Amino acid sequence: MRSVSRVSTILSVLMLAACSDDAGGAVDASAACLADEECEDGVFCNGRERCAPDDPTADARGCVGGASPCGPGQVCAEAAAVCATDCSVAEDLDGDGVAAPICGGDDCDDTDPDRFPGNPEVCDAEGKDEDCDPTTVGDVDVDDDGYVSALCCNGDTCGRDCDDERPSTSPVGAEVCNGLDDDCDGDVDEEVLRTFYADLDDDGYGDATDEQLACEAPEGYALRAGDCDDSDPAVRPNAAELCDTEGVDEDCSGAADDAPGGCSCAAGGVRGCLLPGVCQGSAQVCGPDGRWGACAVGPASQETCGDSLDNDCDSAVDEGCACAVSSRLCGIDEGACQRGIQDCLPDGSWGECRDDITPAPETCNARDDDCDGTVDEGAATSCWVDNDNDGFAELGSANRRLDCGTTACPTGETAVDPTVQADCDDSDDRAFPGQTQFFTTPRNAGGFDFDCSGAPERGPGPSQPARGSCPSTEPCNDGVYFTASAAPCGGYAEVYTCYGTGDSSRSCARAPTCSGTPGPSTCPNTSGSPQACR
């Protein structure tokens, strides 16, 4: 059989040779490559292969090998896919001061100047290895619990603190029932969940066949089981057993009418109630049927929390009140705030909220620091349009908010709120709140109210130029006349010489006429103050 197979193989080879296009060994056209991409082997340092079936050096696929991409004096770094200058000339391609491994250095990435041994490792979730040490992950520890944030990574290695804003959460944290992973093991509330039982009649005892695991009692569930009739709140473990004719087992003991002291009695007899709590000692009368009736002070269906009394007469005080579980969540969970943990104290009350993050003043940090649902409100700079660039804007002017961190408004805008101080003429930079200078020409908007007080200062009228000199009690100022006189203005009603007094209630006095050539002169009634006569 072996000889037959061998002959068949030889015949097959001869037939294939006979079917070739020529006898010179050229590549079969049907097997030749069609594009350079078919020849590329993905190796950088041996150059780019090309498709050239007619090239004498082509391989069986018609591919021709590439040439080294590196020039004279260069070495090829396959890992970085770069041609490095000869190490005797330049050992540090990225200029970070550390040579590449091919040049005897230990730069783990000689194409990135931010990656080299000794460079501080940065906390980043991208896992960039800045210091060329895969074991370091940065040093961010916001909650100062000794564990680096899990958001700090280096490759696949990350910090171990799964919640770097809660100091109680770390790999050594104690797991508490709060819906969080306190010990950073990837599990939530493991081994601390409590079992609660469906409590339809809300008597504090539930049905043992209907349970649910939770940190706090879900609506309609109780921490205790054993209710033998979950439709009647008067029937539950430790309830007061009554001597009734219906044969109800009120205390779920498994037997009806097994009240303390028994139920049989002589009709009309009276005794002190044998039940504990508030029931104890109250009158209990034997009925005509020879059975003890209800105690005068009967058991309540539920405890009254906080009164330190056994209201339901079951020998337990305030059971089911206050703490029903060992711990619970507290605080608010909004913005930068975070809920904490409250522990149940031995006296049944809740302790202080711990490990919670409370509201803080809002700052420019893209976080809702005060936990009101709004980010950076009040922290950004508001700017209003200030057309005359005098530092004030008119009421109703447009405004906008600048990004946090910007404390100054640009030219043409002001940070002064016009509802607090408004410009009375936003086309005249002489007019603004607090102006103390005086001018002889009216504002662009008209009038002489330059300090925006609402009461225009008085000055020369438009039709009659003012002439005269300063009264003896007032200073000369830029050719403007001042007076404290209450005399009327006489025939020059529109000529005011008390401009700038700041007191619009004053009347104006007509000033004497200047004599001489217009220009600086001496005030006749003063000590020589200069006066510009107009």
- Of 177-186, 330-339, 422-431, the poorest mean pLDDT is in 330-339
Closest CA to 192 of 341, 351, 327, 346: 327
Measured from the Cβ of residue 106, the count of other Cβ atoms closer than 10 Å reads: 12
pLDDT above 90 coverage of the chain, percent = 22
Place of tokens 């300063």: 470
Measured from the Cβ of residue 359, the count of other Cβ atoms closer than 10 Å reads: 15
Distance of CA 291 to the CA centre of its chain: 69
Taking the C-alpha atoms of residue 24 and residue 15, their distance in angstroms, rounded to an integer, is: 16
The C-alpha angle 393, 395, 400, rounded to 5 degrees, equals: 65
State pLDDT tens for residues 49-65. 999 999 999 999 999 99
Indicate the average pLDDT of the chain.
Answer: 75
More confident residue, 111 or 285: 285
- Of 175-179, 289-293, 383-387, the poorest mean pLDDT is in 175-179
Range 97-120 average pLDDT: 85
Taking the C-alpha atoms of residue 486 and residue 481, their distance in angstroms, rounded to an integer, is: 14
- Residue 12's φ and ψ, nearest 5 degrees, are -65, -40
Measured from the Cβ of residue 368, the count of other Cβ atoms closer than 10 Å reads: 19
- Of 71-75, 176-180, 441-445, 514-518, the poorest mean pLDDT is in 514-518
**Is the pLDDT at 224 greater than 70, yes or no?**
yes
What one-character-per-residue DSSP string does 461-529 give? Answer: -SSS-------TTS--BTTB---------TT-TT--S-TTSS-TTS---PPPPP-SSSEEEE-TTTTS-
Closest CA to 299 of 320, 285, 315: 315
Beta bridge partners of 83: 76
More confident residue, 339 or 221: 221
- Of 113-122, 304-313, 317-326, 373-382, the poorest mean pLDDT is in 317-326
pLDDT grade, residue 97 (50/70/90)?
A: confident
Place of tokens 């960039």: 128
Instruction: State both tokens at 117.
Output: 């041994």
Quick one: pLDDT at residue 234?
84
More confident residue, 170 or 518: 170
Cα atoms in the 13 Å half-sphere on the side-chain side of 381: 15
pTM: 0.40
3-state secondary structure (DSSP) of residue 41: coil
Range 10-21 average pLDDT: 40
- According to DSSP H, which parts of 50-176 are helical? none
Instruction: State both tokens at 468.
Output: 């005269």
More confident residue, 87 or 336: 336
pLDDT grade, residue 181 (50/70/90)?
A: very high
Give kind and range of the element (H or E) at residue 4: helix 2-18
More confident residue, 280 or 469: 280
State pLDDT tens for residues 194-214. 899 999 998 889 999 999 998
**Is the pLDDT at 280 greater than 80, yes or no?**
yes
What are the E-state strand segments in 100-219? 153-154, 157-158, 194-198, 205-214
More confident residue, 335 or 388: 388
The C-alpha angle 196, 200, 205, rounded to 5 degrees, equals: 50
- Of 245-249, 313-317, 359-363, 480-484, the poorest mean pLDDT is in 480-484
Taking the C-alpha atoms of residue 392 and residue 380, their distance in angstroms, rounded to an integer, is: 19
Taking the C-alpha atoms of residue 379 and residue 365, their distance in angstroms, rounded to an integer, is: 9
Quick one: pLDDT at residue 155?
84
What is each CA distance from 190 to 177, 211, 259, 330, 527, in whole angstroms?
A: 8, 17, 43, 20, 96
Taking the C-alpha atoms of residue 208 and residue 138, their distance in angstroms, rounded to an integer, is: 51
Quick one: pLDDT at residue 56?
93
What is each CA distance from 350 to 271, 344, 353, in whole angstroms?
A: 41, 5, 9
Domain edges within the chain:
457-534
DSSP code of 217? Answer: P
pLDDT grade, residue 392 (50/70/90)?
A: very high
3-state secondary structure (DSSP) of residue 212: strand
Beta bridge partners of 63: 51
pLDDT above 70 coverage of the chain, percent = 73
- Of 15-29, 193-207, 325-339, 348-362, the poorest mean pLDDT is in 15-29
**Is the pLDDT at 104 greater than 90, yes or no?**
no
Quick one: pLDDT at residue 496?
36
State pLDDT tens for residues 449-506. 888 988 765 444 333 333 333 343 333 333 333 333 333 333 222 333 333 333 333 3
Closest CA to 393 of 371, 374, 421: 421
**Is the pLDDT at 86 greater than 80, yes or no?**
no
